[in-house]
Structure 1
């Protein structure tokens, strides 16, 4: 990588064309640097895709959620699944969503 000595931007490569030799040029200012020898790529780095954490919705959203001590307003069970989401502006606290662990209840509620 080469940088423009005038403005500091990354120089771009322009291959030889006709009688003009290959050169590096700045995309923002008129700086041009002729290349005397042919450019050889010494090392190629293969890019790998970033691992993406799956997003679940509906019933699957709570299936993998952690449990906490929370009392269900419907059946008064002491355990609930929870997840937190930022649904308001960044300076407001996160909203916590709960789902009762009782198989017969499965009531959902939220705590702002």
Structure 2
């Protein structure tokens, strides 16, 4: 994007029949296009925070009797998190207690 040096408005592309130019809609300023204009900007990716707590989220959680859908083990760790609006019920997250499985699932 180019901006007018006189009034700071954004210049628009005017493709006249003879001369191509960027023109200001507020004042008579024109910037003639004499060559190909291009610019490339590489954006840096933003680091994503682990909103669910990461590996430490499962420390100091309670156990309950519930069957694992993957290995059929009958105990799982659980925690409850409010992920929707306050008038909606909490979501229950489970993790299998079997060290060979550690499958995670949730119930809404």
- TM-score with structure 2 length normalisation? 0.50
- TM-score with structure 1 length normalisation? 0.48
